Structure formats: C-alpha cells, structure tokens
Amino acid sequence: MALNQALSGINAAQDQLNVISNNIANAGTVGFKGSTAQFAEVYAVTGLNLSSVAVGSGAELTGVAQGFSQGDLETTNGSLDMALSGNGFFIVNNGTGNQYTRDGAFHEDANGDVVTADGSKLQVYPPNAAGGFNTSTLTNLQLNTAQSAATATSTITASSNLPAGASLPVDTPFSPTDVNSYNNASTLTVYDSQGGSHSATIYYVKTANNTWNANLYIDGNSAGTASMTFNSAGALVTPANGTLSFTPTQPTNGASFPATMTLNVSNTTQFGTAYAPGTINQNGYEAGVLENVEIGTDGTVTAVYSNNQTSQLGQIAVANFANLQGLQQVGNNRWLATQSSGTAVLGTASVGQFGNIEQGQLETSNTSDTTAQLVNMIQAQQDYEANSQMLGTVNSLSQTLFQAVSRGG
C-alpha cells in the first residue's frame, strides 16, 4: 500500500510540475491565463465503524483550475491591438462557431477582415442606417470596403462683411474679367459628384444703398446672380431664409453638380468696416481612402479617411459567463462555452459588468511575473523528491522483509 501511496504522490507532483511548466512557457503569451493543479486525498472504502483506523491511499489530480485574473496592459501603439481592462472576452469566429479570447492582437487580412493570428474573425455589432448599432446580430469587422465616396458640393456657407461705405462699381454690366465691375470677390474649391475639384468665385456687386448682388462662377462659367438687402443696422433682410440659389453649369468630365447649389449668407453683414471674407465653407469632398482606425473605450470602431471624413464601422461585441471555470480551453488562447459555463452573456464594453477596451495595448500573460511560478516549481520539486525518497524507503524495507523471510525458511 505504501508503494501505491508514494507513487500517487509522485504522479501528483508530476502533474503539478506540468501545470507550472505550462504557465512558465506561456509567460510571454498575450492574454494567457495561468492554471493551478488541484488535488484530493484518495481514501479507501472501509467497513462499518473501521474508519478510525483506516489510512488514506495517496493523492490524485482532481482538476486544473483556470485563473482569470487581469494581466498587465502593455502599450504597443498598433491601431488594431486591443486589451480589455476589466471583465469580458473578445468574440472571434473561426468559421465553425464563436470562440472567446482575451488576446487582442488583431490585424487586417487580405480581404480586409480584422482577424487573429490564425485567421479567426473579430465579431462586432453592425451599424444601423439611422445611427447606433444593431446589438441583435454579430458580423465580421471589415476594413477593405471602408472607403469614403466623393460627395458633390450642394451648399456653400459664407460669413462675410460687405463694406457699407462702398461705392457703386465704375463699370457696368458686371464681368468677372473686369475688376472695375465688382466690389469684392472670394474664391473657394468645390467638388463634383466624382470628387473632382473646381474653382468657384463669389463676386459681390453693390447695386444701391443696402443692396448687393452675389454672382457665382464655377470654372469661369456663370451659375447665376442673386440679390441681398440689408437694413440700416447692417443686418441681412433678404433673402429671409438667408439662402441664395444658383444653377451651376454641369462639368464636361462625366461628373455632375446638384441641379441647385445654395449659398448660405445668413451670417453675412454690411457694416462700415472694410470687406472681410470671413469663413467660407462648402459641404463637398473628394473620395477618401482609409488612413486610420480609432477604437473607443466602448468598442466603437471609427474609420478616418484621407478626405477628413469619418464613419462608424461597428461596435466590438464582448462576452462574459456565469461560471468562468466551466469554460473549455481549446488552445490559441481561446475558450468555448459549455453547459457548465452557461451561455455567453453578450454586451458592449464600458457598460455594466464589462470592462473598457484600450486601443494600442495588449494584455500580457497573468503568469508573466515568473517569481511565484518558480516558487511553486521548487515546492513541487521537493514534493516529487520526497515521494521518490519514500518510494525508495518502502522498496528497501520490502527487500529487507523478503530477505528475512527467506532466511527463516
């Protein structure tokens, strides 16, 4: 019996060393969670009222408990590197189903999907057309189609001051080539439906006291003339809605402008100071390519384009479980839900039980500080040696016993 007890102790120490060895081997693995070997006494079944003299039969491995404590966060500055600070798991799909991980080292594959090292795809809630995200379904986070289409200019906004003391132009009628036929001018760039840029100029012509014409020309072609009037305090009176309408000539490159282009002059004034073009903006822009991805602490993924436009690509979904110890390890820093763990509780970062998502950081292994692991290893080694010594002692005693029996015979 003592031989079996010592052998079980050796096996238990070996199991513990195996677990510790795996913890140390993964000290540099992103998102790795260490484990602890759990043991129980083996006790032989005895007859009624004999348990007071029964001796245990050794030890056995009853389980390997996973430790889900938070690892340290390490800054990488990678735009697709992420760490969960707090509870939760990223959700990835390997083609056969969802798996769960704390490893946030993602990258873009050839198809534009955001994936793990083995190609499993990060899952997000897709954006709604009306804003926000559809939290009832999951989809792959896709960057390849995240391009910003061109938008033609439909509105120009000018916040200018026209000089109240200006004289009427010397020459009439107005001509953009005759500087004596207009008082002031402001130039800006507008865009057609394909994102092509065009030069636009607003020419201001004083026609009477408190009355001005605005002439819009695009690439030298007239888009029309509209009138403005001001009161004695220099405030705009007409148009009452502050909007002038023009009809631009269509480009010859196959692109187009809107049939009507408006000029918002609601903040234009006529004061006694000099002409001030103020701020001139327009709402068109050229096509843009993806330049950067910004990920908020709540998991909102925003694409930033070269044309200064942005769009939301999705919101990273996170999961948690009622019983983390019930999760099934499947390698690659992944877990599967089981009946013991319960079904995944899905949500979004920074809400309720879920932690924040930190962009440009990775969660290190929670065994990266190997000091504790080495202490455990020394203890397991001592246990192994003690049981080996016990095995040798029992073997020596057995041989002595056999020799004594042999001599007595």
* String of DSSP letters for 307-327: TS-EEEEEEEEEEE-S-GGGP
Separation CA 200–CA 187 (nearest Å): 6
d(CA 144, CA 142): 6
- CA-wise closest residue to 376 among 67, 32, 35: 35
Q: How far apart are CA 301 and CA 305, in angstroms?
A: 13
Q: Which CATH class is domain 155-282?
A: mainly beta
Q: Return the DSSP state at 259.
A: S
- What is the per-residue pLDDT for 350? 96
Q: How far apart are CA 285 and CA 288, in angstroms?
A: 8
DSSP 85-100: ESS-EEEEE-SSSEEE
The pLDDT of residue 375: 79
Residue type present at position 140: N
CA distance 119 to 364: 21
pLDDT at 381: 74
Q: What confidence score (pLDDT) does residue 273 get?
A: 95
Closest CA to 12 of 71, 76, 57, 70: 57
Q: What is the per-residue pLDDT for 17?
A: 84
- Residue 88 CA to residue 350 CA, distance in Å, equals 10
Give pLDDT, residue 9: 66
Residue pair 299/106 in contact (Cβ under 8 Å)? The answer is no
pTM beyond 0.95: no
Contact 223, 261 (CB under 8 A): yes
User: Under a CB-based contact definition with an 8 Å cutoff, are residues 162 and 212 in contact?
Assistant: yes
Contacts of 351 (CB under 8 A, 6+ apart): 298
Q: What's residue 164's pLDDT?
A: 96
Q: What is the pLDDT of residue 21?
A: 84
Using CB atoms within 10 A of its CB, is residue 141 exposed (0-12), middle (13-18) or buried (19+)? buried
pLDDT at 408: 61
* Residue 160 pLDDT: 95
Separation between Cα atoms, residue 349 and residue 317, nearest integer Å = 8
274: phi then psi, degrees, rounded to nearest 5: -70, 165
DSSP class of residue 72 equals P
Instruction: Give which of 375, 378, 384, 376 is closest to 9, Cα–Cα.
Output: 384
Residue pLDDT, tens place only, 308-365: 899 999 999 999 999 999 999 998 899 999 999 999 999 999 999 999 999 999 999 9
- Residue that has been written with the tokens 């899952």 in this structure: 123
Please give the pLDDT value at position 264: 98
**Which one-letter amino acid corresponds to residue 148?**
S
Residues of the chain with CATH 2.60.98.20: 155-282
Q: Give the 3-state secondary structure of residue 17.
A: helix
Q: Which residues of the chain carry a pLDDT beneath 50?
A: none
- For residue 197, the number of C-alpha atoms closer than 13 Å in the C-beta half-sphere is 8
Neighbouring residues of 285: CB distance < 8 A, sequence distance ≥ 6: 148, 150, 151, 191, 195, 307, 308, 309
